């Protein structure tokens, strides 16, 4: 491939796999020229435990870059920059001298630190942590996972004592490996998800580190999201951002009250609140959206553990359908759920319920219940969770939300998107660009805008309202048991 365009690479390291985009920029217009993907192994050692092999992810990353250059007949010198966006709260610990990980990466979905969270809440730590981080004490975030490693790994404690321990989210692990250990750095949108970072002072917090047993010298240097992070084989690493925040940027959500929903393995409902750090809720998080040349934008966020993962579970574990297309056809072969509902707590419930002990359940079944009803209940549970989060955000901000921008793989089904518009009573705009997280971080560093108006779905019916209220009732019943 040889032309006059500027060529840039964007690495999107997600929960299910890693993808690499080659983007060509000419006259401030960008076009995705090629995409390559590679999945990595999902490891489930025990019920509720989720791990990734961090070395496999590094191997996949390097192989993708090599294959992209070979397939496009480009050299490293032809690439202007490499930007990174990544799954957020997943944590890796490694030996600074050898570069070897202490264990598998503990994924954001992993619940092994539930008991630690309960102990900290009972000890009265949540108020201080939420005041500094904008987050709740929950196994979703990195801090409890790190403390679990310290409590269960002799190697972690030994490396910490000798000053040879490194701890980081997936971005800092990748940067370390791509730069051969020369750069150990992260940026605020990732750091703010660890429960170790004061989002108002933009720095690691010594008191928070002490709560989670973390030596401050084991943590990465903080740089701006649009900063430089070293080089990989001569390619400058420029721009790093957590995936959900990158999607917020990619959706052009720059004004107070702009809101987007990213529907991937999990789901992130995020509202731009600019510099308004005074908005507080017990059930909705506050986080750093991004930092750009020293300026910090904040966001409100409701996180949902199981979105696309619910469909994967229905398919792979329950064998209710094969492909997603088959699942969609089956779900919409019936007119409604006929009273069948899913409590989507395969990994516990996050916003706005915050109940890590609750278990998944199908409720309302009878002798006539068949596969289509169960599958439809799975799809509807995704929509109902989003409704619950947006209702909470509206209550916190006292804002009328006229439009919600959505992106992610689950948005490909038009009927489901119409149902989302109906259950929210809000206009839905589905992005015409699939790789918004990747393009968001590229937009931050390059200054161009690829976003165009997406497909519009206006509310047509409120027929789902009784079903939503019934689902909420079932959620509360299961939580009360």
Q: Among candidates 298, 289, 205, which has minimal Cα distance to 250? A: 289
Alpha helices (H) in 50-153, listed in sequence order: 54-72, 114-122, 126-133, 142-152
222 within 8 A of 188, measured Cβ to Cβ = yes
First to last CA, the chain: 61
- Model confidence, pTM: 0.85
Q: How wide is the angle at C-alpha 209 spanned by C-alphas 353 and 196, nearest 5°? A: 45
pLDDT at 309: 87
Instruction: Measure the CA–CA gap between 177 and 450, rounded to whole angstroms.
Output: 30
Size of the chain in residues: 481
Name the burial class of residue 147, with classes exposed (0-12), middle (13-18) and buried (19+) by CB atoms within 10 angstroms of its CB: buried
Helix H, strand E, coil C: the string for 337-394 is CCCCEEECCECEECCCCCECCCCCEEECCCCCCCHHHHHHHHHHHHHHHHHHHHHHHH
Place of tokens 């992209």: 68
pLDDT at 458: 94
pLDDT at 168: 95
pLDDT (tens, 9 = 90+) of the chain, 481 residues, equals 546 788 999 999 988 899 999 988 877 677 888 899 999 999 999 988 999 999 999 999 999 999 999 999 999 999 999 999 999 899 999 999 999 999 999 998 898 999 999 999 999 998 999 999 999 898 889 999 999 999 999 999 999 999 999 999 999 999 999 999 999 999 999 999 999 999 999 999 999 999 999 999 999 999 999 899 999 999 999 999 998 899 898 888 888 999 999 888 888 899 998 876 666 777 888 899 887 777 788 999 998 988 888 988 998 889 998 888 888 888 888 888 889 999 998 888 888 988 888 888 899 999 898 889 999 999 999 999 999 999 999 988 888 899 999 988 778 788 888 989 999 999 999 887 777 778 888 888 877 666 567 789 999 988 889 999 999 999 988 887 5
Please, how many CA atoms are within 13 Å of residue 336, restricted to the half-sphere of its CB? 9
Q: What is the sign of the dihedral through the CA atoms of 151, 41, 308 and 92?
A: positive
pLDDT at 348: 84
Domains (range + CATH), the chain: 6-242 (3.30.420.40), 252-430+451-481 (3.30.420.40)
Name the burial class of residue 70, with classes exposed (0-12), middle (13-18) and buried (19+) by CB atoms within 10 angstroms of its CB: exposed
7 within 8 A of 80, measured Cβ to Cβ = yes
Q: Radius of gyration of the chain from Cα atoms? A: 22
β strands within 111-266, DSSP E: 165-169, 185-186, 197-198, 203-204, 221-222, 228-232, 235-242, 259-263
DSSP string of 129-152, one letter each residue: HHHHHS--S-TTSHHHHHHHHHHH
Q: Among candidates 129, 413, 428, 142, which has minimal Cα distance to 269? A: 428
Six token digits for residue 250 = 């990619």
Q: Which residues contact 317 (CB under 8 A, 6 or more apart)?
A: none
């Amino acid at each position: 491939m040889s032309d006059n365009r500027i060529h840039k690479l964007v690495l999107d390291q997600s929960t299910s796999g890693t993808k690499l985009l080659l983007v060509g920029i000419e006259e401030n217009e960008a076009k995705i020229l090629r995409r390559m993907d590679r999945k990595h192994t999902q490891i489930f050692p025990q019920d509720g435990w989720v791990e990734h092999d961090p070395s496999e992810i590094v191997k996949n990353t390097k192989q993708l870059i090599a294959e992209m250059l070979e397939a496009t007949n480009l050299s490293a010198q032809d690439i202007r920059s490499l930007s990174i966006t990544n799954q957020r709260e997943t944590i890796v610990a490694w030996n600074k001298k050898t570069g070897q990980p202490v264990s598998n990466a503990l994924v954001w979905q992993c619940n092994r630190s539930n008991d630690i969270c309960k102990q900290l809440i009972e000890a009265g730590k949540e108020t201080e942590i939420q005041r500094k981080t904008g987050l709740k004490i929950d196994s979703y975030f990195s801090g409890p996972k790190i403390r679990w490693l310290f409590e269960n790994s002799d190697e972690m404690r030994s490396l910490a004592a000798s000053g040879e321990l490194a701890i980081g989210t997936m971005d800092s692990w990748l940067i370390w490996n791509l730069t051969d250990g020369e750069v150990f750095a992260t940026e605020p949108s990732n750091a703010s998800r660890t429960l170790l970072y004061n989002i108002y002072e933009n720095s690691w917090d010594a008191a928070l580190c002490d709560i989670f047993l973390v030596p401050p010298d084991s943590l990465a240097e903080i740089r701006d999201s649009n900063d430089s992070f070293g080089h990989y084989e001569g390619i400058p690493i420029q721009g790093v951002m957590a995936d959900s925040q990158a999607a917020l940027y990619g959706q052009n959500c720059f004004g107070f009250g702009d809101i987007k929903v990213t529907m991937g393995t999990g789901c992130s409902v995020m509202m731009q609140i600019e510099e308004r750090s005074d908005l507080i809720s017990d059930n909705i998080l506050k986080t750093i959206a991004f930092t750009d040349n020293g300026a910090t934008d904040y966001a409100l966020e409701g996180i949902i553990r199981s979105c696309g993962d619910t469909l994967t579970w229905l398919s792979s574990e329950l064998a209710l359908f094969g492909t997603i297309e088959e699942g969609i056809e089956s779900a919409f072969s019936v007119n409604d759920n006929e009273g069948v509902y899913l409590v989507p707590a395969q990994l516990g419930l996050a916003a706005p319920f915050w109940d890590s002990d609750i278990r998944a359940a199908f409720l309302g079944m009878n002798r006539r219940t068949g596969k289509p009803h169960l599958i439809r209940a799975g799809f509807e549970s995704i929509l109902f969770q989003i409704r619950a989060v947006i209702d909470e955000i509206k209550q916190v901000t006292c804002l009328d939300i006229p439009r919600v921008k959505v992106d992610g793989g689950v948005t490909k089904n038009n009927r489901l998107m119409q149902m989302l518009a109906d259950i929210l009573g809000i206009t839905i705009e589905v992005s015409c660009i699939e790789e918004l997280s990747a393009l968001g971080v590229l937009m931050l560093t390059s200054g161009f805008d690829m976003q165009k108006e997406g497909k519009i779905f206006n509310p047509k019916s409120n027929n789902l309202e009784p079903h939503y209220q019934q689902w909420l009732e079932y959620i509360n019943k299961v939580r009360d048991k």
